[in-house]
Structures are given as structure tokens and as C-alpha cells.
């Protein structure tokens, strides 16, 4: 989980009650792996040299002989290299699900969803609770307005990698892909049942997004289509599941 404007001590203070509650509930809950809470200067987040100086092994470097030293990617994203995606779906979860009378509904939906496939909650992408000026600025964009009241973006995905069509021993497993896509879809349908108008994040969503016009842009779509017709009446610029592409 990413934060902004908190030093390490402040972040630890925020998380302490939750972590202490977990310790007192041994046998009921388990955290896999160490709990790491820390802070760093924002300017060092993507700075390859800064990370090396502070012994933070967070990047995988380009191994080619003529590489640029800044050609890196996150170690946590290494599994996406050559990834053959079986299924990938996302959903904005409204902050209303955090209300006292909705928390159990949300918790049950997350549990049932997890019986089909794993699901991640990306809290740094929802804008619920952000300062007024941030909400106003974001509302003046093409994004689905659901992001303004979302506390997180739920993502479920499955795939095989590295896999390449026509490369013997590394070809995509189509049968496994269909099963994986089905598991992802059933997982997300459990969450859609409690967030039916949540919409989806255009940059992290299904290639086969159902009703993508609403999912990606919500109430903005009508205005976007009018702009498209005005400035590109012949449809020169087209993209899969884009504004006016249908």
C-alpha cells in the first residue's frame, strides 16, 4: 500500500492498532511474509542510482550488452514479461461499502470471490476521501466518475508466462487459459453483485470488457462521443474498445 506525506513513524502509528489486533487473534488470521513499513523521498522512487546507493533491490535491469542503465522494471512485475493473459478484470469499489451496515456484505463478497480466484485491492487508485481540490481536478477528466468515490480498485487476473505462439515448449495452453478466464470472471462477478455500477479502469481491464462505454467512462461517454464525431468524423483514429470505435 502506497502513502504520501507520511514518514516511517507516522505510518507505523497508523498501522499499529491493526497489527496488534492481528497478534491478539492468533489462529484466526495469518500474515504471510514480513510486515514492512517504511518511507522514502518521492524523487527516489524511480531513481535507479538512488535505489542502488540505499541497497534497495527493487528493479530488474535490462541484461542486453548495449543496455541503457535506466532500462529497468519492478521485480514484482517480472512475471509479466512474456505473459500470456488468460483473464484480467477490474472493478472500482465504492466507499459506501465501508459503511458499518455494508462491511459484512463486502467481507462476504471478497471471501466468496476468493473461492474462485485471487483478488487484489489497489487502494492507491481509488480517490474516495481525497481533498476537495483533488476530487474537482479528477472530475474534469474522461475517467469514469466512479473513481471519485472508490476506496480501491479490485483486480483479478490469471495467465501463463513466458508463452509465445509457435515456440515449441513455450506455447500458450489454450485449455488452461479458458479455465483461468472463467475463474477470473466468476471471481469478479461476486464483487459486481455488491458494486453493480462500479465500472472499470481502462488501463487495467478485460480485453472483452462488457459495456466498455460505461465501464471506462460512465456518464462522460456521451460527451466524448460528441467530441469524437466533431474532430474525427471519418474515424481515422480507432482503438479496440475506444470512444466511438464500435
Q: Where are the alpha helices (DSSP H) in 60-173?
A: 103-116, 132-139
Would you tell me how many other CB atoms lie within 10 Å of the CB of residue 202? 17
* Percent of the chain predicted with pLDDT > 90: 81
| Mean pLDDT calculated for residue range 13-34 | 90
The kind and range of the H/E element at 227 are: helix 221-231
Phi, psi of 87 (to 5 degrees): -160, 145
Q: What is the pLDDT of residues 175-203, one digit of tens each?
A: 999 999 999 999 999 999 999 999 999 99
What pTM was computed for the model?
A: 0.86
Distance CA 243, CA 240 (A): 9
pLDDT of res. 77: 87
Q: Specify whether the CB–CB gap between 181 and 197 falls below 8 A.
A: no
Would you tell me how many other CB atoms lie within 10 Å of the CB of residue 139? 13
CA distances from 7 to 15, 53, 122, 131 (A): 13, 20, 21, 20
Residue 80: band (very low, low, confident or very high) from pLDDT cuts 50, 70, 90: confident
Residue 83: band (very low, low, confident or very high) from pLDDT cuts 50, 70, 90: very high
- Is the model more confident about 80 or about 114? 114
Residue 78: band (very low, low, confident or very high) from pLDDT cuts 50, 70, 90: confident
Q: Does residue 246 register a pLDDT over 80?
A: no
* Percent of the chain predicted with pLDDT > 70: 100
Planar angle of CA 41, 119, 143, nearest 5 degrees: 65
Q: What is the pLDDT of residues 135-171, one digit of tens each?
A: 999 999 999 999 999 999 999 999 998 899 999 999 9
Q: Return the CA Rg of the chain.
A: 21
Residue 30: band (very low, low, confident or very high) from pLDDT cuts 50, 70, 90: confident
Amino acid at each position: 500500500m502506497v502513502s504520501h506525506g507520511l514518514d516511517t513513524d507516522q505510518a507505523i502509528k497508523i498501522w499499529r492498532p491493526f497489527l496488534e489486533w492481528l497478534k491478539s487473534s492468533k489462529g484466526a488470521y495469518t500474515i504471510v511474509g514480513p510486515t514492512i513499513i517504511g518511507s522514502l523521498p518521492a524523487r527516489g522512487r524511480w531513481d535507479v542510482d538512488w535505489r542502488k546507493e540505499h541497497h534497495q533491490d527493487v528493479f530488474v535491469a535490462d541484461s542486453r550488452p548495449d543496455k541503457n542503465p535506466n532500462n529497468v522494471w519492478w521485480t514484482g512485475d517480472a512475471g509479466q514479461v512474456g505473459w500470456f493473459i488468460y483473464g484480467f478484470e477490474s472493478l472500482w469499489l465504492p466507499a459506501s461499502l465501508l459503511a458499518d451496515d455494508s462491511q459484512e456484505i463486502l467481507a462476504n463478497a471478497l471471501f466468496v470471490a476468493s473461492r474462485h480466484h485471487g483478488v487484489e485491492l489497489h487502494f492507491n487508485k481509488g480517490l474516495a476521501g481525497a481533498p476537495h481540490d483533488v476530487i474537482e481536478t479528477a472530475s474534469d477528466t474522461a475517467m469514469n466518475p466512479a473513481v471519485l468515490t472508490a476506496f480501491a480498485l479490485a483486480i483479478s487476473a490469471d495467465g501463463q508466462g513466458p508463452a509465445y505462439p509457435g515456440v515449441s515448449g513455450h506455447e500458450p495452453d489454450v485449455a488452461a487459459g479458458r479455465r483461468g478466464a472463467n475463474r477470473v470472471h466468476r471471481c469478479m462477478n461476486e464483487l459486481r453483485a455488491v458494486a453493480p455500477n462500479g465500472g472499470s479502469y481502462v488501463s487495467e481491464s478485460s480485453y472483452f470488457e462488457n459495456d466498455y462505454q460505461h465501464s471506462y467512462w460512465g456518464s462522460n461517454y456521451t460527451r466524448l462521443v460528441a467530441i469524437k464525431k466533431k474532430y474525427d468524423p471519418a474515424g481515422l483514429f480507432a482503438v479496440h474498445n475506444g470512444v466511438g470505435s464500435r
